Structure 1
Amino acid sequence: MRLTPRSVRARATLAACAVVAVALTVASLAMLSLLRANLRGNAEQSARVQAVAVAKLAADGRLTKLVPLGRGTDFVQVVDAEGRVVAVSQNVVGRPALALVPPALPEADAFGQLGIEVHQQVTSVVVDTPKGQVVVHAGVSLGAADDAESTTALILAVGCPLLLLTVALVTWRVTGRALRPVEAIRSEVAAIGEQELHRRVPIPRGDDEITRLATTMNGMLDRLDLAGRRQRQFIADASHELRSPIAVLRTQLEVALGHPDAAVRAELVEGALQDAERLQALAADLLFLARLDAGSADRPTDPTDLTELVRATVRRRGSTLCDVVFDEVEGEGEVVGEGEVEGEVIVPGNRLWLTRLVTNLVDNAERHARRTVRIRVRRDEVTGEGVLEVFNDGPAVDPADRERIFERFTRLDDARSRDDGGTGLGLPIARDIAQHHGGTLAVVDSVQGATFQVRLPLTQACGSPQVADLG
């Protein structure tokens, strides 16, 4: 069984009422106690003033049978050591002596002993007189005090529940007004379906927590919308890219199956095999992108010699469509000899992924180069980064296309890329790998041709500031 209400509005109202109820109870009890103490103190002070005045008369031997009452005093009675009444005020003449011997209770039952119908605050003073020791009793009415206490208690008994009800109503309305934008956000989010990610939640006026919540929610919806559009575009592009080679492959196989010439059949089967390899490469690229997209948020940390990795990657490629040249440089770029390494460029990373990055950049450079691909690896001591630059002497990349070429399935020269086996995924994969390692990949200005520059953070334990450029 659930004891607390479900809604925030109800819980806030209940909590406010509970806090106010406790505060009102404590304040009411404290007020009544203070009021009672104050009224009793005033009455006791008045009675003591009267008792001291009569005691002084008795000590001087000037006490008469009838004692005049002071202002605010209800009665005075003087009793000797034998319990005889020796002096009284007019209103209690003939009444028996009060059964009070100091120290006595301050509140006397004057009604029962003296016939006075009002609750009394009695003060007794012992004094020595020429005729012996006497006790002076002076009483002050507590009727006004009792009435004040009763009235205050009644006001508190009626006012506190009304105040508590007011607090509940105000809290309910204020909380509801404060949570109204939250409910609007919740309703809008609940209404947004998979095909309606373009919708946004309303942003209330002001700069409070709810406004920031709505802004954050819209930012999340922006990212979801972008991711959804990218996913749909990726699926459409992948479907298009797969449909064409599959159709060509099927056509080639169907023609080869029915062609009577063995030489033609062999040529068709060879072309089908090339298309199958292209399909295999495309599928591998798609799977690799999926791994990058769903990869761990932790960056690879294995120390990797970028210079050695580039050398090994290019060496394993064997024959190439054009010359791949390494320029080993130190400092500002002075050539110090081919095949020599003047310093290590150690970066934290995944060796297999970085190898894929280098392979994709070199493949792209070879497809577009006229004669030469130049690779350079160096260290940037200013930024603390390792820099890999891959240059080809082919056509330059227009500044307007320098970001577009990193979009998936984008080709600036569709016909040539298809002929050379490009899928439009090499550069996007390379940039994703660089970003996964905390680095960047971009096209930078060059005198001629196109230069792709990768920047990766160096390891903290990297050695001397020497630079090895391979280009």
Structure 2
Amino acid sequence: MRRWFSSVRARATLGASLVVAVALVAAGAAVLLSLRFSLIGEAEADADSAARRVASQITPNIAYDKLDLPEGEDNPVQIVDADGRLVAASEDLERISGTGIGAVKPEQVSPTPGDDDDDDEDSAEGSLELGELSDDKTFHDGSATVDGETEDYLFAEVEVNVEKKGDLTVYAGGSLESEQSVMSTALTSLLIGFPLLLAVIAVVTWLVTRRALRPVDAIRSEMAAITASEDLARRVPEPDTHDEVARLARTTNETLAALQASVERQRRFVADASHELRSPIASLRTQLEVGAAHPELLDVDGAVEDTVRLQELAADLLLLARLDAGEKPGATRVDLAALAREELSQRTRNRVEVRTDLRGVEVAGSRGQLARVLGNLVNNAQRHARTHVTVATRTEGTWAVLAVSDDGAGVPESEREHVFERFVRLDDARTRDDGGAGLGLAIARDVAERHGGTLTVREAPGGGALFELRVPLAPPAG
């Protein structure tokens, strides 16, 4: 059971069924109440109309047994005088309840003065005097048995004041049989129809959600297959829709593509690093083996140079590994001008002159990583400059700018992004003999991005390449 409820399809079906059930119950209750009020209103109107018709017949000169009372089961009637005596009732009335008077046979009432033949003749000649009807409407629930048939009624109570007869109360019933029959039929229909409708809605919801979730199941199956096969070149199927499932499939494929690119990049990185490390290690081993066999032939300077190169390459690889692992640059305040002066003063192997145009500008980050960026940019410029290299710092709006330019051949526009890839050397000048392994600019850009900045290359005003590092200015102290 728990496994069944873990299905999105099952939960959606159950949720939709519950919502519809609540809505149907509320709607059904509203319909039944509205129908009942309407039918009761009709019974009230019928009873009140019958009572007023009877009351309007009562005059001082007409005997109670002469009244035209409704016959049959439609409107049972009682007329009660001020002393609570039943003075008139419908014919065939056998039992009644709800009016307060249980009698069904009228009591003999002494004729009122004027109720004789002379009065009847006089009344035939003169106009009849009608009683005064009350405007109040009062209703009572009850039942009556007429001619052997018992039914529920709604009794209307109408008071009338008639000269010589005093205050009279007329009770007339409106049958509730129609209301009870209609309500019973409606309730039966709802009790039968609601479960059927719920079943239809549950089945439709189950089928619709199964169809809607079919692409999700296909995505899940393909992802499971990719995980099992470790083949990142595979992609999940994308449905021909524009809904959330299609966007999920596209996002999943984009994630797989990014993961594949990352894995391929790591593989190339490991292969290139192995290749780059193999050369200095092999050269150093050869020199040491030759030196061990023939000490007089040992090239100490070459061995030292290979060792230094191997050390620098290992440091570059270690820094790249830390950057790829998401190492934070920190928030140390660093003055780029002071950093440039210190780093440039420690360089002893400049091939060409290094000129400076430094202005104090502070940034927040890692002093060691920023120093590595400066060193890599200057080394790159030294390898390609003809006569000089220029290092400058300045501010542009909210950015601190470190610019390193040379007067060499520059970087072709089509290759200006390619140079920041790892282990990339564009031409024959960028060889191992020149000291470049193709990692310096890649490290520099990674450090720039970790500091929330950018590293770009364009043509210098005087020709050559101009590399610009842009990093956000440090916030004011305090």
Tell me if TM exceeds 0.5.
yes
Separation (CA, whole Å) in 2 of partners of 1:284 and 1:160: 76
Counting only pairs closer than 5 Å after superposition, residues 353-372 of structure 1 correspond to structure 2 as: 353-372=369-388
**Of residues 290, 306, 310 in structure 1, which corresponds to 2:321?**
290
Q: Where does residue 199 of structure 2 map in the other structure? A: 165
Q: Where does residue 33 of structure 1 map in the other structure? A: 33
Q: Where does residue 423 of structure 1 map in the other structure? A: 437
The alpha-carbon distance between structure 1 residues 408 and 25, as it changes in their structure 2 partners (threshold 3 A), is same
- Asked if residue 239 in structure 1 is aligned to residue 274 in structure 2, the reply is yes
Letter of the aligned partner of 2:384 in structure 1?
A: H
Counting only pairs closer than 5 Å after superposition, residues 50-449 of structure 1 correspond to structure 2 as: 50-65=50-65, 67-69=68-70, 73-81=74-82, 84-92=85-93, 95=94, 100-101=99-100, 106-111=140-145, 115-129=148-162, 130-193=164-227, 195-259=230-294, 262-265=295-298, 267=299, 270-296=301-327, 300-326=330-356, 328=357, 343-381=359-397, 384-413=398-427, 417-446=431-460, 447-449=462-464
Separation (CA, whole Å) in 2 of partners of 1:38 and 1:225: 72
User: Gaps (5+ residues) in structure 2?
Assistant: 102-136
Letter of the aligned partner of 1:324 in structure 2?
A: V
CA positional deviation for 1:310: 0.8
The alpha-carbon distance between structure 1 residues 316 and 77, as it changes in their structure 2 partners (threshold 3 A), is same
Q: Tell me the SS of whatever aligns to 1:448.
A: coil
CA positional deviation for 1:233: 0.8
The TM-score normalised by the length of structure 2 is: 0.83
The alpha-carbon distance between structure 1 residues 459 and 59, as it changes in their structure 2 partners (threshold 3 A), is farther
Separation (CA, whole Å) in 2 of partners of 1:223 and 1:82: 101
Separation (CA, whole Å) in 2 of partners of 1:400 and 1:190: 41
Q: Tell me the SS of whatever aligns to 1:430.
A: helix
User: 2:222·2:236 contact (CA, 8 Å) conserved in 1?
Assistant: yes
Q: Tell me the SS of whatever aligns to 1:118.
A: strand
Q: Tell me the SS of whatever aligns to 2:235.
A: coil
Q: Tell me the SS of whatever aligns to 1:106.
A: strand
- Asked if residue 459 in structure 1 is aligned to residue 474 in structure 2, the reply is yes
User: 1:397·1:450 contact (CA, 8 Å) conserved in 2?
Assistant: yes
Letter of the aligned partner of 1:325 in structure 2?
A: R
Question: Residues 62-101 of structure 1: CA distance to partner in whole angstroms, max 9, x if unpaired?
Answer: 3541533289833223234565543233333xx4676733
Letter of the aligned partner of 1:77 in structure 2?
A: Q
Separation (CA, whole Å) in 2 of partners of 1:301 and 1:19: 55
User: 1:411·1:417 contact (CA, 8 Å) conserved in 2?
Assistant: yes
Q: Which of the two has higher C-alpha Rg? A: 2
User: 1:365·1:391 contact (CA, 8 Å) conserved in 2?
Assistant: yes
Q: Where does residue 123 of structure 2 map in the other structure? A: none
The alpha-carbon distance between structure 1 residues 415 and 143, as it changes in their structure 2 partners (threshold 3 A), is same
CA positional deviation for 1:10: 0.8
CA positional deviation for 1:415: 6.9
The TM-score normalised by the length of structure 1 is: 0.84
Separation (CA, whole Å) in 2 of partners of 1:353 and 1:96: 107
The alpha-carbon distance between structure 1 residues 325 and 3, as it changes in their structure 2 partners (threshold 3 A), is closer
User: 1:10·1:172 contact (CA, 8 Å) conserved in 2?
Assistant: yes
Letter of the aligned partner of 1:227 in structure 2?
A: S
Letter of the aligned partner of 1:393 in structure 2?
A: D
Separation (CA, whole Å) in 2 of partners of 1:3 and 1:220: 30
User: 1:325·1:373 contact (CA, 8 Å) conserved in 2?
Assistant: yes
User: 1:369·1:394 contact (CA, 8 Å) conserved in 2?
Assistant: yes
Separation (CA, whole Å) in 1 of partners of 2:218 and 2:379: 53
CA positional deviation for 1:183: 1.9
Q: Tell me the SS of whatever aligns to 1:110.
A: strand
Separation (CA, whole Å) in 2 of partners of 1:359 and 1:431: 13
User: 1:50·1:73 contact (CA, 8 Å) conserved in 2?
Assistant: no
The alpha-carbon distance between structure 1 residues 306 and 123, as it changes in their structure 2 partners (threshold 3 A), is same
Q: Which moved more, 1:360-369 or 1:13-22?
A: 360-369
Letter of the aligned partner of 1:88 in structure 2?
A: A
Separation (CA, whole Å) in 1 of partners of 2:245 and 2:85: 83
Q: Tell me the SS of whatever aligns to 1:233.
A: helix
The alpha-carbon distance between structure 1 residues 97 and 118, as it changes in their structure 2 partners (threshold 3 A), is closer
Separation (CA, whole Å) in 2 of partners of 1:172 and 1:394: 71
CA positional deviation for 1:312: 1.0
Q: Tell me the SS of whatever aligns to 1:147.
A: helix
The alpha-carbon distance between structure 1 residues 351 and 88, as it changes in their structure 2 partners (threshold 3 A), is same
Q: Where does residue 132 of structure 2 map in the other structure? A: none
Separation (CA, whole Å) in 2 of partners of 1:456 and 1:167: 60
Alignment RMSD: 2.9
User: Gaps (5+ residues) in structure 1?
Assistant: 329-340, 463-471
User: 2:99·2:140 contact (CA, 8 Å) conserved in 1?
Assistant: no
CA positional deviation for 1:400: 3.0
Question: Residues 308-337 of structure 1: CA distance to partner in whole angstroms, max 9, x if unpaired?
Answer: 2111110012342322222x3xxxxxxxxx
Separation (CA, whole Å) in 2 of partners of 1:234 and 1:148: 84
- Asked if residue 450 in structure 1 is aligned to residue 450 in structure 2, the reply is no
User: 2:143·2:150 contact (CA, 8 Å) conserved in 1?
Assistant: no
CA positional deviation for 1:222: 2.0
Q: Which moved more, 1:364-373 or 1:219-228?
A: 364-373
User: 2:72·2:92 contact (CA, 8 Å) conserved in 1?
Assistant: no
Separation (CA, whole Å) in 2 of partners of 1:442 and 1:33: 77
Separation (CA, whole Å) in 2 of partners of 1:233 and 1:214: 28
Question: Residues 247-266 of structure 1: CA distance to partner in whole angstroms, max 9, x if unpaired?
Answer: 2222222222222xx3214x
